[in-house]
């Protein structure tokens, strides 16, 4: 008889026969909530010890304008006003995993009182250098039991996929929302067109610290008591589909092998981002991706998902 694993989101049993190994880790896909997760014990998860280094953003940043440009602050302002409205002056904003502070800068420019949590000192020190003494950033992992007060808007951008027990984590965060407040979650969409076609070679399974990838089905199951989903949308860069397919092809051909280990310490590492591609390459990728982007737009199946949880009681 085959062994069974328990899904960390919906607690359904997963038959080990449908599990697979990818980039040094055992993975399983839950048929009930459609979450894909690394099969780790809590101790194995803690041993991953990700550094969340800033990569390319740490280089050549010496002014407010440069940092704003590199962090796409104007896009983040648009994102916040789209989901939280334009009357944000004086509201309390918390960004968990704030990185170099793009959302903190956007929130401040919208008149909010902005603070954050960031485990990487290399990230927060860069923000402090450009914006001295303007933001309160706690250099630690978020813990709801140690977080004082409540907030009107809490941001969780590309963090939830790193979390082992997502249900407990989101419930803890929502306990720090004021009634009527919003938790905005941005994460890779595990039910996207890219994920479906790439299958077990999806690009988002590669990072060593991605442990639980969710989609709309799991997002609904993760809704805490006293909260509702105010919005659930997907988006992506126009050429993103082609990037994901090229990555899957490279993996299928045996390229991009990884050891499953992180670089020691918080040393910056050079990263490749579609946003940094030359214009001619972006144009080619966008043309190749167009039919799939249109389909994903119609079906809400684009690569990046935004979930807005609103606290109602």
Per-residue pLDDT tens for 72-93?
999 999 999 999 999 999 999 9
In eight-state DSSP terms, residue 25 is: E
pLDDT at 253: 86
pLDDT exceeding 70 applies to what percent of the chain?
88
Give me the chain's average pLDDT, please. Answer: 89
pLDDT at 266 over 50: no
CA distance 122 to 99: 9
Question: What are 194-228's pLDDT values in tens digits?
Answer: 999 999 999 999 888 899 999 999 999 999 999 99
CA distances from 128 to 31, 66, 136 (A): 45, 14, 10
Question: What are 135-182's pLDDT values in tens digits?
Answer: 999 999 999 999 989 999 999 999 999 999 999 999 999 999 999 999
Task: For 253-292, give one letter per residue: b (16+ CB within 10 A) or e.
Answer: eeeeeeeeebeeebebeeeeebeebeeeebeebbebbeeb
Sole residue written with tokens 């983040």: 76
């Amino acid at each position: 008889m085959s062994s069974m694993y328990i899904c960390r989101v919906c607690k359904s049993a997963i038959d080990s026969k449908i599990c697979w190994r990818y980039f040094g880790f055992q993975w399983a896909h839950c048929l009930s909530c459609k979450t894909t997760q690394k099969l780790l014990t809590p101790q194995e998860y803690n041993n991953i010890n990700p550094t969340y280094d800033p990569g390319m953003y740490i280089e050549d940043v010496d002014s407010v304008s440069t940092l704003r440009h590199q962090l796409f602050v104007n896009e983040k302002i648009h994102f916040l006003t789209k989901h939280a409205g334009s009357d944000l002056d004086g509201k309390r904003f918390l960004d968990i995993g704030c990185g170099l502070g793009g959302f903190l800068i956007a929130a401040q420019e919208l008149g909010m009182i902005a603070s954050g949590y960031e485990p990487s000192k290399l990230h927060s020190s860069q923000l402090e250098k450009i914006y001295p003494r303007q933001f309160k950033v706690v250099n630690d992992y978020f813990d709801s039991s140690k977080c004082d007060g409540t907030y009107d808007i809490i941001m969780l951008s590309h963090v939830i996929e790193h979390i082992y027990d997502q249900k407990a984590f989101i419930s803890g965060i929502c306990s720090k929302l004021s009634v009527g407040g919003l938790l905005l979650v941005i994460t890779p969409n595990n039910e996207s067109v890219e994920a479906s076609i790439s299958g077990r070679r999806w690009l988002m399974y590669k990072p060593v610290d991605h442990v639980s990838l969710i989609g709309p089905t799991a997002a609904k199951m993760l809704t805490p008591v006293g909260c509702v989903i105010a919005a659930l949308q997907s988006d992506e860069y126009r050429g993103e589909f082609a990037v994901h397919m090229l990555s899957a092809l490279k993996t299928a051909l045996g390229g991009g092998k990884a050891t499953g280990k992180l670089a020691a310490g918080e040393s910056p590492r050079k990263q490749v981002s579609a946003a940094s591609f030359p214009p001619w390459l972006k144009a080619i990728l966008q043309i190749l991706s167009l039919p799939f982007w249109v389909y994903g737009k119609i079906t809400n199946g684009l690569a990046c998902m935004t979930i807005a949880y609103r606290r109602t009681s």
